Amino acid sequence: MTATAAVLQRAARLREELERHNYAYYVLDAPTVPDAEYDRLFRELQQLEADHPELVTPDSPTQRVGAAPAAAFGEVVHGVPMLSLANAFSEEDVAAFDRRCREGLGRESIEYAVEPKFDGLAISLTYEEGRFVLGATRGDGYKGEDVTSNLRTIRSLPLRLQGDAPRRLEVRGEVILFRRDFERMNAEQRAAGEKEFVNPRNAAAGSLRQLDPRITARRPLRFLAYAVAEGAGIAADTHSALLDHLARWGLPVAPERRVVHGLDGLLACYRDVGSRREALPYEIDGVVYKVNRLEDQARLGFVSRAPRFALAHKFPAQEALTEVLGIDVSVGRTGAVTPVARLKPVFVGGVTVTNATLHNEDEVRRKDVRIGDTVIVRRAGDVIPEVVAVVQERRSGGEREFVMPQTCPVCGSRVVRGEDEAVARCSGGLFCPAQRKQALLHFAGRHALDIEGLGEKLVDQLVDGAIVHTPADLYKIGLLKLASLARMGEKS
């Protein structure tokens, strides 16, 4: 039976709506509808496509059957790990970094390369015989996703290098959106009646991690290189010289990079870039310092998951005023009962913040945070929202003080606090569903058993449905029981 215009229109609308929900769920980790509503829309589209097979398209949500958008990407093991950088939030942190480098190298003063810290998605590019052959995301630093086809659509990324590039070259860099391109994308979203992107970083990440490269091709993504991971025979003895080579080979690098000497040079550069931050064509959240001489980098080496020769100096977190609507408590893996401020939604540092940690009861008292207060909220390190201070002048007298509950709000067990401890704890242990959930997530995490797909939503179902009580129960779940859970059915 041929599809009518109404059926075609309904199928198109369902695909658009499901893709928006998929993006919120898998990329932003911020579901926009309950699972039941998503499943209802999904089943409706499945039925339409079953009745009219000509409607099925390769990029239809039904062709993914609930898998994360990254599920179709191949895995890439990084030959040279893509490690994170240590962060600095104060001049004292930078001074300590400079001192460690000088002591490690036995020098009075050190030459540093300084670059903007891009706020985008870190990737690795591999070129062989001058041709682009592989592109991967950072992932966990050791394994990433193969996004080669999508990266090929970025016009600023050369598919073939110029000049005397090494036979094999691995370049590290960032996929970003320029401010003007981001604004244009959101104007198009508004004109189409679709949800706007929250910030350039999320828009860049979501655009690159599309299963259909044609979607990525429509997004004005850009690439900027900032390091070489592999490249034998490059005639360079400094990091800045490496970047100059990349530019000659046709790879875009930040024009704001420079070389400075000593601590004073680092701090002067940081202040200068910070003063011009809003005038840059792209968003940055700090500057990166690297010991410039490659030989010195090798001598300093690495510690844990970060290089000793580099540091990310973050700009002060953005702040905003909002109202405390309530103070709830969350229960962690070890039973820690943490006060959390429930806030009137406020846009801070590129995201909408609705909750902020208050750490513990003593911290609530020290800051004198009360329900109904106007407070200053900051995204510490541009990541974790926290209440910085109360705006005392705005108090009306009707604010209410926080009282730590005597019993756990989840399981009803007694909340206890040791004499010398700042943290109150639920005494329920694994009897407490909240502690059980966090224990399972910890057990399945990357640094433990690394169980793929066992995330918060699945753990919620397993615990709330009384299917799993201890980590050992994970090995006893039958296929039928697992398939009965939301988003866990067999693929058709």
Catalytic residue among 117, 290, 314, 437: 117
Q: Are 319 and 346 in contact (CB under 8 A)?
A: no
The residue type found at 322 is T
In angstroms, the CA 179 to CA 266 distance is 26
Q: Are 342 and 330 in contact (CB under 8 A)?
A: no
117 belongs to the catalytic site: yes
Number of H helices and E strands in the chain, helices first, is 14, 22
CA atoms within 13 A on the CB side of 180: 3
In angstroms, the CA 71 to CA 22 distance is 13
* DSSP string over 161-175: --SS--SEEEEEEEE
Q: Are 176 and 222 in contact (CB under 8 A)?
A: yes
CA atoms within 13 A on the CB side of 45: 27
The residue type found at 347 is F
In angstroms, the CA 98 to CA 103 distance is 9
For the record, the structure tokens of 104 come out as: 């490690």
Across the strands, what pairs with 286? 314
In angstroms, the CA 439 to CA 445 distance is 10
In angstroms, the CA 162 to CA 236 distance is 17
For the record, the structure tokens of 8 come out as: 């075609």
In angstroms, the CA 260 to CA 216 distance is 38
Q: Are 58 and 15 in contact (CB under 8 A)?
A: no
* DSSP string over 154-209: -TTS-SB--SS--SEEEEEEEEE-BHHHHHHHHHHHHHTT-PPPS-HHHHHHHHHT
The residue type found at 331 is V
**Rg of the Cα trace of the chain?**
26
- What are the residue numbers of the active site? 117
